[in-house]
Amino acid sequence: MRRSTQPPGKGRRRPYYGAALLVLGMAQGVQAQTIEEDAQQHQSVLDLERPGYEPRRIKLGNVLLSPELDVGVTYNSNIYAAHVDRRDDFVTRIQPRLTIEEDEGRFQWHGELSGELRRYASNGRENSESYGAVGTFAALLSQQLTVTGTAGYRRAVENRADPEVRQNPTLGPPLFDVLNGELQMRVEGSRLGFSLKGQAEKYDFVARANDDRDFTSYRGTARLFYRLSPMFDGYVQGYVNQRNFRRADIGSGASRDGRTIGGLVGVQVNPSGKLRGDIGAGVFRYKPESAFFESFSGFALEGSLIYSPRQRTALILDVFSGDVATVRNGASGRIDRSARLTVQQEIRHNLIASAAFRYRQTRYRGIDSRLNTIGGDVDIEYLLNRHLSLALTGQLVKRTGGNDMDRFERSRIGIALRMRY
């Protein structure tokens, strides 16, 4: 679990993907564009309309409901992400979802309720249930002023491959609750504009043994941008991120709270051609509240670029470099650098695919530990009709590190039936 306020990488088809891109598009859109035009321009390749295969939606006035259900079985070659004594198993997943949205007018909103039931064939202690709800809204108050927001809650299951996970198969998978909220305002003139964004996240692990991992993060971001051309805006951005931990460091008793201040200079590509998104680079400075830990600086990088050479093809690059929260014993800080390249392609009218290659380097300060993780993901979906599709999924992951506890290899392959109303 990456503890930062960065968005997750894109890839697998999900009903909220289009809504997320809509919010991004409104934040970066050209003044003359309407909300409807932005939604079409930023729609995922995997969610484009396909005549004869469009799922039906329930309409209640201006509100649209879309129920879905995925049922699948996945073979996991290494369920505990272990270097030795690996255990494999078959995992059955049942994933219901309900999306609710109103997409007409200057004020639009999108909500989702979701859940996941996991059942292992041989390792019943790993069985789990997760669920969540998220809502987003976008308001075009004028040609110059846009306001967007997000709020959500989820009960999640920690990935056994997470660098911070505490492996204890006898206790079952670590569960945690996440509350998050975001509010952004963007003002845009003919050439000059600015945006302000506030974010908050609260992580709360269910087991008391993980109470020292609970923390709350508050982040504020300000961006000033200038229209260089109809396609490009240059920007400077500053941000402050405050993390408050529930408990002090176990060994020293010192507070683990800290603040990160950073700045970026970058370019954002307005959605008028084949390329869109933004990317910026700069520096950050982390300062802990306790003198027991040392301050440090580093290279900052944030960006997401989407290139669509054709309507039915998209290449998506997500990059990140910065500090993230850590509770690893002896570590005074953690710096992650990651990159993910995703290719989305409509192979045929009813055959769509997504493939991704990802890399992450995790480096701890205060201890000699550096982890390198590489992986690949693939999702191929065959649409049988407007209600049913069959999907094949695969994943390969390998992590290297300085000791055996940090190294592992894992492969997954699965099949799923996806049902839509």
Query: Is 170 strand, coil or helix?
Result: helix
Domain containing residue 111: 17-420
φ, ψ of residue 386 to 5 degrees: the values are -70, -15
Going 219 to 224 to 228 to 230, the CA torsion angle's sign is: positive
Tell whether 6 is covered by a domain. Answer: no
Instruction: Report the amino acid identity of residue 263.
Output: G
User: In the prediction, which pLDDT does 387 show?
Assistant: 94
Tell whether 7 is covered by a domain. Answer: no
Tell whether 172 is covered by a domain. Answer: yes
Report d(CA 326, CA 336) in Å as an integer: 11
101, 85, 125, 86: which is closest to 35 by C-alpha? Answer: 101
Report d(CA 404, CA 388) in Å as an integer: 44
User: In the prediction, which pLDDT does 15 show?
Assistant: 37
Tell whether 254 is covered by a domain. Answer: yes
Tell whether 375 is covered by a domain. Answer: yes
Report d(CA 335, CA 271) in Å as an integer: 32
> Cβ distance 296 to 330 under 8 Å?
no
Burial (0-12, 13-18, 19+ Cβ within 10 Å), 113: middle
> Cβ distance 45 to 158 under 8 Å?
no
226, 142, 137, 152: which is closest to 190 by C-alpha? Answer: 226
Longest alpha-carbon distance in the chain: 64
Per-residue pLDDT of the chain (421 residues; tens, 9 = 90+): 334 433 333 333 443 334 333 333 333 333 333 333 344 445 577 777 888 888 888 998 889 999 999 999 999 999 999 998 899 999 999 999 999 998 777 889 999 999 999 999 999 999 999 999 999 999 989 888 999 999 999 999 999 999 888 877 778 889 999 999 999 999 998 899 999 999 999 999 998 888 889 999 999 999 999 999 988 999 999 999 999 999 988 777 889 899 999 999 999 998 778 899 999 999 999 999 998 888 999 999 999 999 999 888 999 999 999 999 888 877 888 999 999 999 999 999 899 999 999 999 999 988 888 999 999 999 999 999 999 999 999 999 999 988 888 899 999 999 999 999 8
Tell whether 9 is covered by a domain. Answer: no
Bridge partners (DSSP) of residue 241 are: 219, 260
Tell whether 10 is covered by a domain. Answer: no
User: In the prediction, which pLDDT does 230 show?
Assistant: 87
180, 176, 96: which is closest to 135 by C-alpha? Answer: 180
Tell whether 3 is covered by a domain. Answer: no
User: In the prediction, which pLDDT does 43 show?
Assistant: 58
Query: Is 281 strand, coil or helix?
Result: strand
CATH of the domain at 53: 2.40.160
Q: Which helix (H) or strand (E) holds 26?
A: helix 17-28
Report d(CA 94, CA 117) in Å as an integer: 5
Spatial CB neighbours of 242, under 8 Å, sequence gap ≥ 6: 217, 218, 219, 257, 258, 259, 260
pTM for the structure as a whole: 0.84
Q: Total structural domains in the chain?
A: 1
User: In the prediction, which pLDDT does 197 show?
Assistant: 97
Instruction: Report the amino acid identity of residue 367.
Output: I
Report d(CA 108, CA 138) in Å as an integer: 5
DSSP string computed for 172-236: -S-EEEEEEEEEEEEEE-SSEEEEEEEEEEEEEESSGGGGGG-EEEEEEEEEEEEESSSSEEEEE
Q: Which helix (H) or strand (E) holds 19?
A: helix 17-28
